[in-house]
Amino acid sequence: MVASDPLPPEPRRFSIRLPRPFWLGMATVVLVVVAAGLRIGVPIYRQQAAVREIERADPKSYILRRPRGPTWLRDWVGEERMEPFDDVVTLSIDTKANTDATLRQVNWLTSLESCTSPVPM
């Protein structure tokens, strides 16, 4: 080979690196976990916000909950810590003590079966 011959040009490299399969898999796993957490967590948060608002406006309100979750988990964690996960099934409130804004919160109690209010005589 003669020294004056130009070297063949080196093929151009792609400047943007493609993500590796491991990172694509990790991103997928994180996305699935976040989506599942939101699907479970948002309704629980809304229910608890509604219960707090109703109890704040009317401390004498009666709220009956249906336990949810396996009994072994309730025994292990404790009833008090599992209470936010319970379904609110019965609600008895005084309409004099609650405003329209407070009563709108009842909408978030999706498992509510009975909602009563004493009628003044």
Mean pLDDT over all residues of the chain? 84
Name the residue with tokens 């498992």.
111
pLDDT tens track for 48-105: 999 888 888 888 888 889 998 899 999 999 989 998 889 999 988 877 777 788 888 8
Domain chopping of the chain, boundaries:
23-116
The 8-class DSSP code of residue 87 comes to E
| Residue 9 vs residue 52, higher pLDDT | 52
* pTM of full prediction above 0.75: no
